[in-house]
Amino acid sequence: MNCRQARKLLTHSMGANAQARRHAASCGACSRFATRLKEIDRALVAPRSEISPPPGFARRVRSRLAPTEDLIGWAALRLLPATLAVVLLLSWLNLRGESVQNAAAENPTDAVVSWMLDLNVGDGS
């Protein structure tokens, strides 16, 4: 086993792979690599903070809840003329070939997957 293979196995197992550890035991550079990796594993396992919900947290959340559908329905009815105007404007823009981006993803998971898999953003790796 060479150093490259050993470090791959060490990284994959966070230092636990027995074969790679045997290599590291007789290789100074890989031994240092394994030591640093162990510390990183410890940092990953530890939570970054241990914070309990403050008193009244649930009540505060409740006070910030968005209007329910019924309320939204009434609000939408009151805003119907303005809504129609916006819809017409957007349709017109679309006809002119301008794409209207919807920045707020309907399903957060889709946006996250795009981000994680570099569909939108390169990570240079």
Partner 1 sequence: MENETVHALTLPMTSLSRSLPVDDDAILVAEANDGDREAFERLVERHQNRVFRLAGRFFRHREDVEEAAQDTFLTAWTKLGTYKAKAPFEHWLTRVCLNTCYMRLRREKPQERLPAEIGSEAGDPNARLDAERLLARLEPRDRFILQLLHGEGWSTTEIAAQLGWTVSNVKVRAFRARRRLRQLVEAG
Q: Which two tokens stand for residue 74?
A: 């009434």
Identify residues 12-31 at the interface with partner 1 (CB under 8 A).
12, 14
Residue from 28, 54, 55, 97 in contact with partner 1 (CB under 8 A)? 54
Minimum distance of partner 1 from residue 88's CB (angstroms): 27
Phi and psi at residue 19, to the nearest 5°? -65, -45
Judged by beta carbon, residue 2 or residue 107, the one nearer partner 1 is: 107
Task: Yes or no: say if 18 and 7 are a contact pair by the CB < 8 Å rule.
Answer: no
Judged by beta carbon, residue 95 or residue 107, the one nearer partner 1 is: 107
Task: Yes or no: say if 24 and 10 are a contact pair by the CB < 8 Å rule.
Answer: yes
**N-to-C CA span, the chain:** 25
27 interacts with, out of partner 1, Zn ion, none, CB within 5 to 8 A per kind: Zn ion
